[in-house]
Amino acid sequence: MTILVTGGAGYIGTHTVVELLQGGHEVVVLDSLVNGSREALHRVEGITGKAICFIEGDVRDRALLDELFVEHSIEAVIHFAGLKAVGESIEKPLAYYDVNVHGSLVLCQAMAAAGVHRMVFSSSATVYGEDAPVPYMETMLRGRTSNPYGSSKAMVEQMLSDLCCADKRWMVTLLRYFNPIGAHISGEIGEDPQGIPNNLMPFIAQVAVGRRRELAIFGDDYPTHDGTCVRDYLHVMDLAAGHVAALSSLQHAGVRIYNLGTGHGISVLEMVNTFERVTGQTVPFRIAPRRDGDLAAFWADAGKAERELGWRAERGLEAMLHDTWRWQEQNPRGYVPG
Ligand code: NAD
Ligand code: UDP
């Protein structure tokens, strides 16, 4: 199949493009490069030995999308393009609704006009909201989101569900990711946040490589076994494989929802300790106040994806940390050489 991958030059997108190319698909990437990199796509071509058709542009640009759908025989879309920083979304809500919600709307309109009705959408565990019991299950209703980023994901989920109700040609899978970390085993591609990392894993890796002095652990007084927050971390290559599985199963009208996680929770302190043990690096840290909006603990019930997609997360925490470190050590400044 020829797949349009929006946001394909970003972290999860590049790893998914590797899986798609190795699975025999043709790939067209549309990315504005606001948080992605051309170099990452060159490296994907190096890893796979295959060419990527790359279009630099914005997912909100309807004329560009129309042209793209005329020029390429796209059969399905994996829609990653979006803004993802929770804190920034609180400061700039309109930017988040514009890119994430309006961008998805324009994309759907262009797909409809082109007669393309298959989509895999990047959603997030955040849509379960603040009060959901763990483990999170797909049968639970979406909850009250605590920031514009989460609200934008919930809105797009609703929009896609409404679309599938109204028009039986649409086949949509909503993938609710938990916490992707790790990198391709080659160390050639990985997570390369611009500026100060918001997420735990890239922050730990940048402390270990000497780019940052110490990690601030946001709170050690949560009601968890060691007081630090618990999350369900999964390997980005497992997540990438989940997209290929979701794509193959896009054969029936309507919307389907899957959690992509391991089903196991790990605390922040366990992450730091395991990283140190696995890599032999030291990660100085201090305990800092809680971060606004953080939930104490959540993880996935990952059973539905296994039953229906035949997908499960295969790689363990040690592999995730080894692969993160290989990427960071080989690329101390990310995709910027030197
Ligand atoms: P990323 O920022 O690395 O990738 C997103 C890509 O989209 C970037 O390459 C960026 O340049 C591109 N982009 C942004 N706005 C665009 C626009 N208007 N037009 C075209 N391209 C645009 O992020 P990621 O971690 O790879 O996340 C991919 C998707 O998965 C996002 O939708 C994100 O919200 C979702 N998600 C991520 C996580 C996570 O922890 N990384 C968790 C849950 C959901
Ligand atoms: N975290 C931390 N220090 C950091 C970044 C994150 O202690 O510099 C904690 C954060 O409070 C949360 C966990 O690590 O409990 C995972 O945070 P991340 O931002 O990676 O994921 P999310 O909060 O989106 O689940």
What is the pLDDT at residue 337?
A: 60
3-state secondary structure of 144: coil
- Among residues 128, 149, 233, 258, which one is catalytic? 149
The verdict on residue 223 lying in a domain is no
The verdict on residue 31 lying in a domain is yes
Which tokens belong to 230?
């618990």
Residue whose Cα lies nearest atom 41 of ligand 1: it is: 180
The verdict on residue 319 lying in a domain is no
What is the pLDDT at residue 293?
A: 87
Question: Which of 250, 169, 289 has the alpha carbon at shortest distance from 1?
Answer: 250
Q: Which domain holds residue 38?
A: 2-182+233-263+301-314
**Model-level pTM greater than 0.85?**
yes
3-state secondary structure of 169: coil
Residue whose Cα lies nearest atom 30 of ligand 1: it is: 122
End-to-end CA distance of the chain: 38
What is the pLDDT at residue 338?
A: 46
The verdict on residue 220 lying in a domain is no
**Nearest ligand, measured from the Cα of 12:** 1
The tens-digit pLDDT sequence of the chain (338 residues) is 999 999 999 999 999 999 999 999 999 999 999 999 999 999 999 999 999 999 999 999 999 999 999 999 999 999 999 999 999 999 999 999 999 999 999 999 999 999 999 999 999 999 999 999 999 999 999 999 989 999 999 999 999 999 999 999 999 999 999 999 999 999 999 999 999 999 999 999 999 999 999 999 999 999 999 999 999 999 999 999 999 999 999 999 999 999 999 999 999 999 999 999 999 999 999 999 999 989 999 999 999 999 999 999 999 999 999 999 999 999 999 998 64
What is the pLDDT at residue 85?
A: 93
Domain CATH number, residue 113: 3.40.50.720
The verdict on residue 187 lying in a domain is no
Residue whose Cα lies nearest atom 14 of ligand 2: it is: 200
What is the pLDDT at residue 253?
A: 96
Rounded Cα–Cα distance for residues 120 and 265 (Å): 26
User: Is there a contact between 283 and 207 (Cβ–Cβ < 8 Å)?
Assistant: yes
Count of domains for the chain: 1
Distance (Å) of CA 307 to CA 23, 87, 270, 287, 303:
21, 35, 30, 40, 6
| Distance from Cα 275 to the centre of ligand 1, integer Å | 25
User: Residue 271 CA: which ligand 2 atom is closest?
Assistant: 14
The verdict on residue 198 lying in a domain is no
**Nearest ligand, measured from the Cα of 191:** 1
Q: Is residue 58 in contact with ligand 1, taking CB distance under 6 Å?
A: yes
| Distance from Cα 15 to the centre of ligand 1, integer Å | 12
The verdict on residue 34 lying in a domain is yes
Q: Is residue 334 in contact with ligand 1, taking CB distance under 6 Å?
A: no
149 flagged as catalytic: yes
The verdict on residue 243 lying in a domain is yes
Q: Is residue 229 in contact with ligand 2, taking CB distance under 6 Å?
A: yes
The string of DSSP letters for 2-26 reads: EEEEETTTSHHHHHHHHHHHHTT-E
| Distance from Cα 200 to the centre of ligand 2, integer Å | 5
